Amino acid sequence: MNSYFTVRRRFEAGCIDLACSPKQHGHLYNIEATAEAHEAGMLRSSLDAFVREVDLRMLSEQLPGVNPTPMGISRFFMERTKMAVPSLCRVEVDISNVDESWYAAEE
């Protein structure tokens, strides 16, 4: 039986997302990633590095080509981190003032 480890972090970032608002604005994001427990240290390091990269910055500048929606962010983190954390199985991102969340999961 596998044991899993989940890391949660928050970051604030600006974006221009036509689905939300065509003007520059910001959100408080919650990101949660899950992997097998034996990769907890690497998962924590990867998520902390990602948050340092995007916190208090414009997502379109930090993540060029990525749709700055929770779905786009979760897919980006999953794809980027999978090499370093092979057991990464779920990444969930939500915006704190919106009652929905999106996630990327390995099948």
pTM to 2 decimal places: 0.86
What domain count does the chain have?
1
CATH number, domain of 82, equals 3.30.479.10
Residue 102, pLDDT score: 67
Q: Which residues contact 69 (CB under 8 A, 6 or more apart)?
A: 17, 19, 20, 102
Residue 101, pLDDT score: 65
Residue 21, pLDDT score: 61
- Would you write out the chain's pLDDT as a tens digit for each of its 107 residues? 889 999 999 999 987 765 666 677 788 999 999 999 999 999 999 999 999 999 999 998 899 999 888 889 999 999 999 999 999 999 999 888 776 666 666 64
For residues 71-103, one letter each, b for 16 or more C-beta atoms within 10 angstroms of the residue's C-beta and e for the rest, the string is ebbbbbbbebbbeebebbbbbbbbbeeeeeebb
Residue 22, pLDDT score: 65
Residue 106, pLDDT score: 66
Give the residue numbers spanning the domain of 53: 4-105
